[in-house]
Structure 1
Amino acid sequence: WTTAKANLTIRTWTKMSPITIRLQRGKLEAIGLMSGTSHDGISAAVVELDERTRPPARLIAFQTFPYPARFRKELLDASADEKIGAAAISTLNFALGRELARAAIEVARRARVSLSDVAFIGSHGHTFFHLPPRRATRGQVASTLQLGESAIIAAATGVPVVADFRAMDVALGGEGAPLAPLAHLWLFADPKRGRVVLNIGGIANATYIPPRARLGDTDLVAFDTGPGNGTIDALASRISGGRLRMDRNGRIAAGGHVNRPLLARMMQHPYFRRRPPKSTGREEFGTHLLDRFVADARSIRVVDHDLLATVTALTARSIADACRRFIFPRGRVDQLIVTGGGAKNPTLMRMIAAELPDVEVITAEKVGVDGDAVEAVAFAILGFQMLRGRQGNIPSVTGARAPAILGKLTLPPAPLA
């Protein structure tokens, strides 16, 4: 089946490989979709990809589409429910597919890009469960599950969809995360500066890019540092009785005082000492941990705004601790470039800068990149790599046994003959 609009040819073979995929050389337009651990909504980016340019990815348009309040609650509740049934998971999978498709259609409309000109959609979906090999205990099977049915997206848009990027890396013994470092190389590599790209979403993750970095360098390292905005947002919601979804601009934390003994107790979590490759999520830094933080605070009479300041300091301290333990010994770091929602929290940014006084802490916008869009752009890049037959994972980052092509291709309905 051939679709000229996408410059994508699928040819059936009788030997060795069932399909071969070819993309026309030169620039093409793609859409990247991402739903993060904050459960806030879908990030959607229209991206121009052209390997002849530097950087090879150029953002055309970006938009975040918040989840309807009821759907967000269903997703959050399901993520926290260890006894959720198959029917609920299947329903969420298709419902998320509809939300992702709507985001793709709307971001293309706002960018004034026809879907007929979009070569493909790279959709991360939403990580519903993630248990990599190094976290699986005896009797458990390492696994990862991203919801957001790609067939729904392909049927609604008429565009080929590459999705389910994490599974192959986990199958090869890797963490399946983080997957953004390849995009970080494309967007942030610098011939003179050593950089850490720090994305602060629900969970925070860091990528070290040494000067003149290239794919395959053994100095490349990336991993989840621990909690990002997720714990801060959940606590803000709890202490406000559900009126707030976040501590906007870090205002509540700015009015509080960090409780040093409580912070030290929080930093005793074993994840912070674990060496990379490593990844984490709500399984380790979710509701149950927040319950413990609140109980500890109540036992020593820490008031709400001081607790929120302390939880914000936990994100900053754990990021700095991870840099000192696992990144600084690898080489020089001149800049820490912050992306994601955490970059919009001035209180958190000040705390990070205070923890790392010898490093320039800046936002991605300071180097000409839209920090909110980076992860959505990353999955457009990973989709491109898959369709080119190139590796998407970085084994020195994930711990996988080998480089691998990531993602699965879902074709839209073929035109009737």
Structure 2
Amino acid sequence: MDKQLGIGLMSGTSLDGIDAVLIEIEGSSVNTKVKVIDSLTHEYESDVRHALKELCFPETASLEKICSMNMFLGRELGMLVNKLLDKASIGKEEVLFVSSHGQTIFHKPLGGEKRMDVPGTLQIGDLSMLSEITGITAVGDFRTADMSAGGQGAPLVSFVDYILFNNPYRSRAIQNIGGIGNVTYIPRNAQKDQVMSFDTGPGNMVIDEIVYRITESKQVYDKDGEIASKGNVNQKLLNKLMEHPYLKLRPPKTTGRELFGNSFVDSVMSNSSGLPSEDIVATVTAWTAKTIADSYSRFIESPSNSIDDVVIGGGGSYNPFLMEQLRRYLPNKTVYKHEDFQLSSNLKEAIAFAILGYHCLIGKSNQIPSATGAENPVIMGKISHTQPQAFQQLSALRGNLH
């Protein structure tokens, strides 16, 4: 199969912006090979970030706002793709696909007792708008296929972690710290069905919201962990945070802003009244690290399972205070960053969704049931091509597969 050019787009639960990466890709599953050609990041303006945050909560969301933002984000994603192509001096006719995770505004991994109260998830950023703006086949809405097969629709990147980090001699925990933290555990010389993955709990989400509040919206995150490094970890507050019920739930499990959003931060602030702001930030940062270490000891490590390497990715890997806390809580582990494996922590998830999108287009399953809880492997993703040229490119690819 010939090498193809594709673009991956990622907008995470941190609501900080969109990462776009142009890649060259060939092969499939463990034989997948990826080369990064170029990349671009677009930070959300404050009004867009605020509007997106409103959509994540039933009390501030509305059907009209969701409909409008779905199309607006599709257009924003498309315009970013066009800027990336201009930057790389690549014509759209050279690119086979653009693959978008979309912006999650609600994720409900478990159903209720009523007949119509079934699990579901909603990512916005319309694929038809994305395809029309770029003139390229668009792939997205990955989670729903996994949930249709009984999975929780997350974590999805475990499929890519297995491709990139499986090792015959080392057991690895691949830990992403975005808005939410999630881990993929890959035993040494693992088969796919031995891979385990779940959301460990909060990543940067709680830290970011507290920094936003204490700086009166002047900062949206703790750059380089500067605020946390000036404070002290308050053990009483940390112990209280570690009592959260989610942390005791057994995998497979996923979470998001529904559990660790504004209402949760309200309770953190009320439980920390009288503490210096720096101490609050230091404590919730240490909490993220401790939830990760606690998840490993509770759910992964056993007499038959060990962790040799911990590989940290996502925005949290650029926070020195958080990395220091991780090493403190994981004293017997070698803690790496994605950069130690020649992979950008910032771009990892955008690359991952490019890989997932490509597998969808070539008709290959692109999720790991043991990670998501699904009953069987599925091909995740929906495809949109609004222009004949994009359809013809995809048809030519599929013709070459037979």
Q: Same fold (TM over 0.5)?
A: yes
| Matched ranges for 1:198-277 at <5 A | 198-214=175-191, 216-217=192-193, 219-277=194-252
Deviations 1:77-118 (A, max 9, x none): 222343522111100100010111112112222223221111
Q: Does 1:363 find its partner at 2:337?
A: yes
Q: CA separation in 1, counterparts of 2:314 and 2:84?
A: 19
Q: Which amino acid aligns with 1:367?
A: F
Residue 31 in structure 1 maps to residue 13 in structure 2: no
What's the CA shift for 1:297?
Answer: 0.7
For 2:75, give the aligned amino acid. Answer: R
Who is 2:125 aligned against? 148
Quote the residue 1:178 is aligned against. Answer: 155
Amino acid at match of 1:29: L
Give the equivalent residue in structure 1 for 2:371.
397
Would you say 1:284 and 2:291 are equivalent positions? no
Scaled by the length of structure 1, what TM-score is found? 0.90
Pick the aligned partner of 1:48 from 21, 24, 34: 24
2:249 aligned with 1:294, yes or no? no
Q: 1:72 aligns with which of 41, 49, 53?
A: 49
Q: What is the alpha-carbon distance in structure 2 between the residues aligned to residue 297 and residue 84 of structure 1?
A: 29
* CA distance in 2 between partners of 1:243 and 1:50 (Å): 44
Report percent identity of matched pairs.
40
Partner amino acid, structure 1, of 2:9: L
Q: Is the 8 A contact 1:29 1:118 kept in 2?
A: yes
- C-alpha contact (below 8 Å) 2:55/2:62 kept by paired residues: no
What amino acid maps onto 1:87 in structure 2? E
2:399 corresponds in structure 1 to none
SS in structure 1 opposite 2:221? Answer: coil
Could you tell me whether the CA contact under 8 Å between 1:200 and 1:340 is conserved in 2? yes
2-side partners of 1:159 and 1:368: how far apart? Answer: 29
Give the direction of change, closer, same or farther, for the CA distance of 1:222–1:248 in structure 2 (3 Å limit): same
Work out the CA distance in 2 between the residues paired with 1:303 and 1:200: 25
Tell me whether 1:87 sits opposite 2:45 in the alignment. no
Write the distance in 2 (CA, Å) between the matches of 1:28 and 1:212: 29
CA distance in 1, matches of 2:281, 2:220: 13
Asked if 2 retains the 8 angstrom alpha-carbon contact of 1:207 and 1:223, the reply is: yes
**Residue 7 of structure 2 aligns to which amino acid in structure 1?**
I
Cα drift, residue 204 of structure 1: 0.7
SS at match of 1:392: coil
Cα deviation, residue 331, structure 1 = 2.1
Local SS of the residue matching 2:388: coil
Equivalent of 2:349 in 372, 375, 380: 375
How many residues are paired up? Answer: 387
Offset at residue 42 of structure 1 (A): 0.5
Shift of 1:403: 0.7
Alignment partners' CA distance in 2, 1:26 and 1:413:
23
Measure how far apart 1:54 and its partner are. 6.2
Alpha-carbon distance, 1:137 to partner: 3.1
Q: Match of 1:366, as an amino acid?
A: D
Q: Distance in 2 between matches of 1:198 and 1:113?
A: 33
> Deviations 1:300-345 (Å, cap 9, x if unpaired)?
x222111111110110000000111112226231111111100000
How many Å separate the matches in 2 of 1:352 and 1:56? 31
* 1:10-66 C-alpha deviation (Å, 9 max, x unpaired): xxxxxxxxxxxxxxx121110011110000111111111122896612222222211
2:235 alignment partner AA: R
Q: CA separation in 1, counterparts of 2:58 and 2:143?
A: 22
What residue is the counterpart of 1:128 in the other structure? 105
CA contact (8 A) 1:203 1:224 kept: yes
2:25–2:32: 8 Å Cα contact kept in structure 1?
A: no
One-letter amino acid of the structure 2 residue matched with residue 226 of structure 1: G
User: Residue in 2 aligned with 1:194?
Assistant: 171
In structure 2, C-alpha distance between the alignment counterparts of 1:378 and 1:96, rounded to whole Å: 20
1:214-252 Cα offsets, whole Å, 9 max, x none, are: 4x33x2001110000111011001011111111111111
Query: In structure 1, what is the Cα distance between the partners aligned to 2:268 and 2:288?
Result: 13
CA distance in 1, matches of 2:41, 2:300: 31
Runs of at least 5 residues in structure 2 that lack an aligned partner in the other structure:
392-402
Give the alignment's TM-score, normalised by structure 2: 0.93
For residues 121 and 402 of structure 1, what CA distance do their matches in structure 2 show?
A: 26
> Would you say the 8 A contact 1:57–1:186 is kept in 2?
no
- Provide the residue aligned with 2:277 in structure 1: 304
- Identify the match of residue 326 of structure 1 among 274, 295, 299: 299
Q: CA deviation at 1:393?
A: 1.6
Corresponding position of 2:74: 97
CA deviations over 1:274-320 (Å, ceiling 9, x no partner): 1111100000011111100110111xx22211111111011000000
Instruction: Assess if the C-alpha contact under 8 Å between 2:54 and 2:61 holds in 1.
Output: no
